[in-house]
Amino acid sequence: MTSTLFDLTGKVALITGSSKGIGRAIAEEMARHGARVVISSRKADICEEVTRAINAEMPDGPGGAVSIPANISRKEELARLVEATKRQLGAIDILVCNAAVNPFYGPMSELPDSAFDKILDVNIKSNHWLTQMVVPDMKARRDGAIIIVSSVGGVRGSSDLGAYCISKAADVQLARNLAVELGPFNIRANAISPGLVRTDFARALWENPEILERRTAGDPLRRIGEPHEIAGAAVFLASRAGSFTTGQNLIIDGGSTIT
């Protein structure tokens, strides 16, 4: 007997920041489970490259990918992204807000207003805009899944990543608010908070072996995470397996926050 708990066949998934790292891994796994996925980031050539790779892997399967580049900091580009997705694939069943920025490393006392504004706009406001754009169709169908990729930074204090951590804490609360507001329409909203994962975004913390060893020495698993280890949680939350899960923050960090 084959289980269909994680089957996403027939679903349309829009995933921001999906040309690399965790976003790409989520897109790949959702496509492998039958979803049609939208690969989106600012750079069109990289989006096309990832789209070709996904489609080459599953030429005869139900899942596949299309490329629709967009800059999520611009509301008009997000509107175009949503409309292009609906035109090419149909209404959006799954929204994964993964793209994020961190243009400043240092104490809050030295944080420029421009950097703070950019972090809040890209990491919080763009997710709010996107949910506003996709929710009407989800309400009409009385079905949908919204996943916001947050961070363990959202549950910890930081002396160097304060603004980024504030934005990620807000993303978790955004998921909770959406869960309460949209639950009566059978729309689920959850957050995923990865720990240290081998992505370009966190390269400064892992490409130096000594820094990586110090960073993971106190973690129960004693190692860095890989993007595909986050992707499985997104598939769970988007599928029938996660149909009774909403308003939650799933921390995937090798145990770092428990020690």
The set of catalytic residues is: 164
Our measurement of the distance from residue 129's CA atom to the centroid of its chain's CA atoms, rounded to an integer in Å, reads 15
In total, the chain counts a number of residues equal to 259
Q: How many angstroms separate the CA atoms of 81 and 164, rounded?
A: 25
Query: Which amino acid does the sequence have at 19?
Result: S
Q: Which residues contact 203 (CB under 8 A, 6 or more apart)?
A: none
Distances (CA, A) of 176 to 97, 99, 130, 146, 247: 14, 19, 16, 11, 4
Query: Which amino acid does the sequence have at 75?
Result: K
CB atoms within 10 A of CB 243: 14
